[in-house]
Amino acid sequence: MWGNGPIDMFEHLFEHGGVTAALDLAPDLAMLRARIQRLESAGSPGEVAGFSVPEPLRSAFPSGLRAGATYAATGSLTLALALLAEACSQGAWSAVVGLPGLGLEVATRMGLDLERTLLVPTPGEQWATGVAALAEIVPVVLARPVRLAPSEASRLTARLRERGCTLLLTEPPAPTWPGVQATLHASPAGWRGLGAGHGCLLQRRLAVEVQQRTGRRTRHHLEVS
């Protein structure tokens, strides 16, 4: 059945492309390394590879939040919720760990689907186990960090990376936490709608300072209504 002929040649090409390439590995390896590097760096503009971020932050994350990476969104739960809601806007499941009393109503108004959100308000000692288990099933986890042993933290981040689960932390983690991809710090920048004795809050503005792991800092403004 292994006769020779043009069609047979095509067969080999389709089926055993890897084998032919193996003869000549070196240039391929170089090419792949270059590709990995390209992917690890800022990423090509306009191409959203991970989870999308709210519009005003797109310039800081042109390719979105990377799957499997850890981000810290500090200063404001609203910012964290906005990131979570936007990341799940394509119908992804999400989980919230260790945040009792989170304003779920504002989260739904931002577009979070509560039907696809798991809440673990008080994980206690089981924080790392819980996050690791949730990483198996949901692509985005929002959690308030706890103090973890460095070995445990690196094991958890490895798990997250392997599962492609993005972790959003609401507070800056301990300095021993391996690899926070970027830190977003929000500070309030004004309210709209409330006067002296009249009106009600309609809109708020957040100033978001993004510090990438590379040290690059950018400032953005996020509006929530």
Residue among 69 and 135 whose Cβ is closer to another protein: 135
SS3 for 71? strand
111 forms part of the interface with another protein (CB under 8 A): no
Cβ 38 to another protein shortest distance, Å: 29
As to burial, measured by CB atoms within 10 angstroms (0-12 exposed, 13-18 middle, 19+ buried), residue 197 is exposed
32 forms part of the interface with another protein (CB under 8 A): no
199 forms part of the interface with another protein (CB under 8 A): yes
- Residue list 131-170, contact with another protein (CB under 8 A): 133-134, 136-138
SS3 for 19? helix
19 forms part of the interface with another protein (CB under 8 A): no
Residue among 63 and 78 whose Cβ is closer to another protein: 78
C-alpha span between 145 and 104 (Å, rounded): 19
Residue among 40 and 125 whose Cβ is closer to another protein: 125
In Å, what is the CA distance from 74 to each residue of 12, 41, 43, 147?
Answer: 55, 24, 24, 16
Select from 33, 35, 109, 213 the one that contacts another protein (CB under 8 A): 109
36 forms part of the interface with another protein (CB under 8 A): no
Q: 64, 123, 119, 121: which is closest to 89 by C-alpha? A: 64
Residue among 155 and 163 whose Cβ is closer to another protein: 163
Residue with tokens 């990476």: 69
29 forms part of the interface with another protein (CB under 8 A): no
# residues contacting another protein (CB under 8 A): 61
31 Cβ partners below 8 Å, 6+ apart? none
C-alpha span between 47 and 55 (Å, rounded): 14
Name the residues that contact another protein, by CB under 8 A: 1-3, 5, 7-8, 10-11, 14, 76-78, 81, 93, 100-109, 114-115, 117-124, 126, 129-130, 133-134, 136-138, 187-191, 193-204, 224-225
